Structure 1
């Protein structure tokens, strides 16, 4: 069940009244659910926008529609609005949205992927970069592909050895090494330019 606090309901009613569109509701969906990037998305929706499988939460003065594929991830969520001097802040606290870190009996791939998404990619994002897991070999070598600002970056080897490989090997003992399989010659917006020659 999703709880909409009265302050949030009042906020939504005000938004909907300002749109002056009969039958307009609010739709809530989970984005990247079950991953460390999990988030919620709210949008206006007219009756014609509905797919028909949404769950309806009747609030005083409006309906909150929850997309069917988001219901399990948003169970127990609380939507609140806290007023402050700048207007206010809407918050959605959904304890199950991002899933749980893999347990010790999870596969090596699951544990590596979770560590990449929860720790490594957020750090690379500060330079506009990211890394994607392509494979974990039978002998524990992690094969990665760089993208964004890391694709073609002149410092990618330092990032790989001193950051990514060190983190993965320290936190997941089965990882024996990390290899970059990216074609860096095709990178068009590197954070640091590579030196010619």
Structure 2
């Protein structure tokens, strides 16, 4: 499907990469599929024969070659700029995506509180915490950096994160830490991974 108004923009570098990848193979194209996972976008590039592509997929011409965007990915990629960066030994697709990575307002607000209220304090000690899933009003979180395996991780959860979430989001009934604390730089954790601390509102 040729969009009347492109759902995304391919930079000259991206077009050039497609042409390089398909050089001499105009019988196939490159397809991008976008999904949500744990508050992040996952981008999958694969090869597809134009005749085998879904007719609902969006098609971009790259010279004699074709670049497809999976039609189901439209709400997740719309308005994005798709680029390919090649600096020294580092080469990668770079996608500037303006769309929200979470699909619910509550998850977006919780993630915002982590980023703007909680993580600045943890960053002073090299730590970080993020929301990885929100299901049935239970927040699943993962610690990293200085918080992973830290002896203070339990205290951080019970006296910091839970208190803030309970104050701001009364609908949240529990919090599950899914961090693999045994893999931390200073592995010690007194609360088993996957336990649900009680919220007191």
TM-score greater than 0.5 by the shorter chain: yes
Evaluate the alpha carbon distance shift between residue 96 and residue 133 of structure 1 in structure 2; reply closer, same or farther with a 3 A threshold.
closer
Instruction: Kindly indicate whether residue 26 of structure 2 is the aligned counterpart of residue 31 of structure 1.
Output: no
Q: Report the TM-score when normalising by structure 1.
A: 0.59
* Mapping 1:89-168, distance limit 5 Å: 89-96=92-99, 98=101, 102=105, 109-110=106-107, 114=111, 123-124=128-129, 132-136=133-137, 143=138, 157-168=154-165
Please say if residues 59 and 67 of structure 2, whose CA atoms lie closer than 8 Å, have aligned partners that are also in contact: yes
Work out whether residues 25 and 62 of structure 1, in 8 Å CA contact, stay in contact via their aligned partners in 2: yes
Partner secondary structure for residue 38 of structure 1:
strand
TM-score by length of 2: 0.58
Contact 1:38 1:97 in 2 (8 A): no
The answer to whether the 8 A contact 2:15-2:62 is kept is: yes
Work out whether 1:3 is the aligned partner of 2:25. no
Structure 1 residue 85 and structure 2 residue 91: aligned?
A: no
Structure 2 gaps, min length 5: 1-5, 119-126, 145-149, 191-201
Q: Aligned residues, how many?
A: 170
Contact 1:160-1:178 within 8 A present in 2 as well: no
1:73 equivalent in structure 2: 76
Tell me the CA shift for residue 32 of structure 1.
0.2
Partner SS, residue 22 of structure 2: helix
